[in-house]
Amino acid sequence: MSSSIDSVNPWLVAVVLNTTLLGLAWIAPKKLLTTAGLFHAWFLSILIWVTLGWQGYAVVMFYFLVGSGVTRIGMAQKEAEGIAEKRSGARGPENVWGSALTGALCALGVGLINSGFLAPTSQSLIPSPQSLLLLAYVASFSTKLADTTASEVGKAYGKSTFLITTFQPVPRGTEGAVSLEGTLAGIVASVAIAFVGWGVGLIDLLGVAWCVLAAFIATNLESVIGATLQSKYTWLTNEVVNIFNTLIGAIAAVLIAWTWISFIK
């Protein structure tokens, strides 16, 4: 599959594929993206395809489809309680980049290294910068899908929600609130997308473990940020917090992998 696809100009494939999907999304009765969100997702998807091929594209599409699906879990109930995502879950540009900016930068880094635009690195470096960036890429989306799933499942099905900093009971939907149901669902989601990354060859099986562990760390730190800082700073919107969340997940995965390799050497 990959050999036949890779023989075609990746820019052409990316533009045709994503323009076709854009058209289908445009006429779909259920809007997963706003009009502006469609354009930004089109640009992001082309960037991912050109830099990481169909393998990287598979990861981001899995995140988008599953993330959009879990956002709609219990939507009527969440809207009635005032804790649902705005626009009934349709993603705008701020959501696209809040979720994918870290991953896009990792993909761009891989593309620049592979194209020779950046200075070549020593072949003796293990792991290579490319492999670390690929791990960070998958970890960023593992983190975001874990966060989205934990939040949406927790708001829909969480029987008891607690503020992560004090463990005091708080209403569902409170910034920084966690629940057992949401936490478990988030772990399952991070495992699923990490295995997608492994299945398409972006990471190895150890990388799956690092992505899941990093996602768990980052998702809980994101809850701490929500509980302690988000209400104090107007610029710290949910989208900005999402960028920090995915960045923490990406960095955590790289540090864990680097530490592990240093330890076994």
pLDDT tens digits for range 202-250: 999 999 999 999 999 999 999 999 889 988 888 889 899 999 999 999 9
- Check residues 60 and 128 and name the one with the higher pLDDT: 60
pLDDT band at 122 (very low <50, low <70, confident <90, very high): low
55's enclosing H/E stretch is: helix 35-71
Q: Which of 56, 65, 6 is nearest to 30 (CA)?
A: 65
Q: How far apart are CA 22 and CA 11, in angstroms?
A: 16
Mean of the per-residue pLDDT values of the chain = 88
How many C-beta atoms lie closer than 10 Å to residue 165's C-beta?
12
163's enclosing H/E stretch is: strand 161-163
pLDDT band at 4 (very low <50, low <70, confident <90, very high): very low
Beta partners for residue 33, in sequence order? 91
- Check residues 75 and 155 and name the one with the higher pLDDT: 155
- Check residues 185 and 78 and name the one with the higher pLDDT: 185
Averaged pLDDT for residues 190-194 = 98
Q: Which of 51, 46, 48 is nearest to 59 (CA)?
A: 48
Residue type, 23: G
27 touches 39 (CB < 8 A): no
Structural domain boundaries in the chain: 2-264
| Interior/surface letters 248-260, b for 16+ CB within 10 angstroms, e for the rest | bbbbbbbebbeee
Q: How far apart are CA 259 and CA 4, in angstroms?
A: 38
| Interior/surface letters 206-231, b for 16+ CB within 10 angstroms, e for the rest | ebbbbbbbbbbbbbbbbbebbbeebe
Question: What three-state secondary structure class fits 235?
Answer: coil
Question: What three-state secondary structure class fits 138?
Answer: helix
Task: Reply yes or no on whether the pLDDT at 63 is more than 90.
Answer: yes
**Range with the largest mean pLDDT of 49-63, 64-78, 165-179:** 49-63
Burial (Cβ within 10 Å: 0-12, 13-18, ≥19) of residue 3? exposed
pLDDT tens digits for range 141-175: 999 999 999 999 988 888 888 999 998 999 887 88
- Check residues 183 and 160 and name the one with the higher pLDDT: 183
- Check residues 75 and 133 and name the one with the higher pLDDT: 133
Q: Is the peptide bond before 29 cis (omega within 30 degrees of 0)?
A: no
pLDDT band at 8 (very low <50, low <70, confident <90, very high): low
179's enclosing H/E stretch is: strand 177-179
Q: Which of 121, 105, 131, 102 is nearest to 210 (CA)?
A: 131
Task: Reply yes or no on whether the pLDDT at 3 is more than 50.
Answer: no
